Amino acid sequence: MSQFMKPFSEACERNKVPILDVITPLLKSCSELLEIGSGSGQHAVYFAEKLPHLIWQTSDRSDNHWAINLWIDEANSKNIKRPFELDVTQNHWPESKFDAVFTANTAHIMPWEAVVAMIKGVGNLLGKNGLFIIYGPFNYQGQFTSESNARFEMWLKEQAQHQGIRDFEAFEEQANEVGLELVNDIEMPANNRVLVFSKLCDGSKKP
């Protein structure tokens, strides 16, 4: 793909409205949000436009920044910030606190070790009562929620063995370890979920 061609994700186009419907009430009291893995930049531009009260900070590995910047250039929105480099396995997370962190379709792409690192980083980054919102497919009690998710898992493994749909229980356990408590688990179209975690006020682990 040429660096001059703005990338387009069909998945982002399909899921942006259902995701917006869910996150709008969640983010009504938030002022600054970090997106982990902004990818093509489509979600960031769309959500920033629809949530003008919110500063949307994009991030990704540096090789994806050109794509995000092309979308930002076209949007010309004042409440979206250009991406900074963020590899969740490295110790260069931003020092400032955010009201919320959002990520979509990243956990099943990252190695599990990176997922754990992401959760830990988010736990350290969020201020008290901050929200961690993650969109994507999850398994429950070790079982796929649909035949299509089982096929998707096979496709993921064909692309790279470290990829795969994560178990909800394992994800929640890691979140609890860093003081993040599940407050909602929302069913989404195409057998996806939105998990919403809140940072415990005192920063302690969930009992």
- Find the domain containing 43 and state its range: 10-199
Q: Do residues 125 and 99 touch, judged by C-beta distance below 8 A?
A: no
Task: Indicate if the pLDDT at residue 2 is higher than 90.
Answer: no
- Domain assignment present for 204: no
pLDDT tier for residue 95 given thresholds of 50, 70 and 90 = confident
For range 133-152, the mean pLDDT: 96
179: left (phi over 0), alpha (psi -120 to 50) or beta: left
- Domain assignment present for 89: yes
Query: Looking at residue 4, what DSSP letter applies?
Result: T
pLDDT tier for residue 207 given thresholds of 50, 70 and 90 = very low
| Residue 66 to residue 175: CA distance in whole angstroms | 31
| Residue 114 to residue 110: CA distance in whole angstroms | 6
**What's the pLDDT score for residue 92?**
81
Task: Indicate if the pLDDT at residue 144 is higher than 80.
Answer: yes
Number of domains in the chain: 1
pLDDT tier for residue 96 given thresholds of 50, 70 and 90 = confident
Q: pTM of this prediction?
A: 0.93
Q: Do residues 193 and 166 touch, judged by C-beta distance below 8 A?
A: no
- What is the rounded radius of gyration, in angstroms, for the C-alpha atoms of the chain? 16
- Domain assignment present for 75: yes
Query: pLDDT digit string (tens) for 107-132?
Result: 999 999 999 999 999 999 999 999 99
DSSP output for 131-171:
EEEEEE-EEBTTB-SSHHHHHHHHHHHHH-TT--PEEHHHH
**Among residues of the chain, what percentage have pLDDT more than 70?**
95
Residues with Cβ within 8 Å of residue 157, at least 6 apart in sequence = 163, 164
pLDDT tier for residue 4 given thresholds of 50, 70 and 90 = low
- Domain assignment present for 157: yes
CATH number at residue 31: 3.40.50.150
Query: Looking at residue 206, what DSSP letter applies?
Result: P
- Domain assignment present for 149: yes
- Domain assignment present for 182: yes
- Domain assignment present for 135: yes
**Among residues of the chain, what percentage have pLDDT more than 90?**
77
Beta strands in the chain (DSSP E): 32-36, 55-60, 80-85, 98-104, 126-136, 138-139, 166-167, 180-188, 192-199
Query: pLDDT digit string (tens) for 17-76?
Result: 999 999 999 999 999 999 999 988 999 999 999 999 999 999 999 888 999 999 999 887
For range 168-187, the mean pLDDT: 98
- Domain assignment present for 2: no
